[in-house]
Amino acid sequence: MCVLLGMFMSLMFGMSMMIRADFFVSAIHRLPNDAVMLTFDDGPHPANTPLVLDVLQEKGVKAMFFLIGKNIQAYPEITQRIIDEGHAIGGHTYAHNHGFGFKLGKNLSRDIMKAQRYLSDLTGEEELYFRPPFGVTNPSIAQVINENKLKTVGWSVRTYDTAVALNDDRVKQLVGRIDNGAIVLLHERVDATCEALPLLIDGVREKGMKFGLLPKNKKE
């Protein structure tokens, strides 16, 4: 019995860390067309987000930013620039702490929905796109998502840029993994990611692919 319980708990933990498994939450992992979507987590960052926006503007690329509530609160002008320049946005919880997967009830709901409300206040529309920190999902997180009709966005290409810097060789390898409809996970708080962005964009275009966004979110 103890062995079975241990196996069950290991499975639950593993699935909670694998958003692509769609075990607890049905997430969007690919675009519904042939475009590629770049996504940036954990912003806005006071130094790096403006640099990323400059590159995207220069290259004529629209991307999606999953923003942390406390950072939105601290840097509203950067958040507004993201919106004004036509990029897509989604919530990434208010606090984004390592205990996110252990939160329950009102504490969990508050953490998720506070960031969503900040975004809605800025855009004047109900913002429904959401990406859980670390890709963690579990029954409690699924309940909040379902109750609020949020649309969870995962990824098809994970860069691991917070663990290993994106140098030229790694960017070339990354471009090789990107195909039509891919959703690419990046983090703008990482300096090397900002520096590698022009090479990444050029590499995707050299493969004959274009960039795009998810359709405008609407509550069903």
pLDDT digit string (tens) for 38-74?
999 999 999 999 999 999 999 999 999 999 999 999 9
The question of whether 41 is a catalytic residue gets the answer yes
pLDDT at residue number 11: 53
Burial class (CB in 10 A: 0-12, 13-18, 19+), 14: exposed
What is the pLDDT at residue 98? Answer: 77
Per-residue pLDDT tens over the stretch 74-85: 999 999 999 999
The one catalytic residue in 29, 41, 42, 87 is: 41
107, burial (CB in 10 Å: exposed 0-12, middle 13-18, buried 19+): exposed
Each of the 220 residues of the chain gets a pLDDT tens digit; together they read 666 656 655 655 565 567 888 989 999 999 999 999 999 999 999 999 999 999 999 999 999 999 999 999 999 999 999 999 999 999 999 999 877 778 788 999 999 999 999 999 999 999 999 999 999 999 999 999 999 999 999 999 999 999 999 999 999 999 999 999 999 999 999 999 999 999 999 999 999 999 999 998 766 5
Q: Helices 105-123 and 139-147: crossing angle, nearest 10°?
A: 40
- The CATH superfamily label for domain 2-206 reads Glycoside hydrolase/deacetylase (3.20.20.370)
- Taking the domains of the chain in order of start, what are their residue ranges? 2-206
Q: What is the pLDDT of residue 97?
A: 83
Choosing from 161, 168, 187, 191, the catalytic residue is 187
CA–CA gap between residue 176 and residue 146 (Å, rounded): 35
Q: What is the pTM of this model?
A: 0.92
Instruction: Give the CA angle between residues 178, 145, 99 to the nearest 5°.
Output: 85
Q: Is position 45 annotated as part of the catalytic site?
A: no
Q: Which helix (H) or strand (E) holds 47?
A: none
Above pLDDT 70, what percent of the chain? 91
Closest C-alpha to 160, from 202, 131, 132, 192: 192
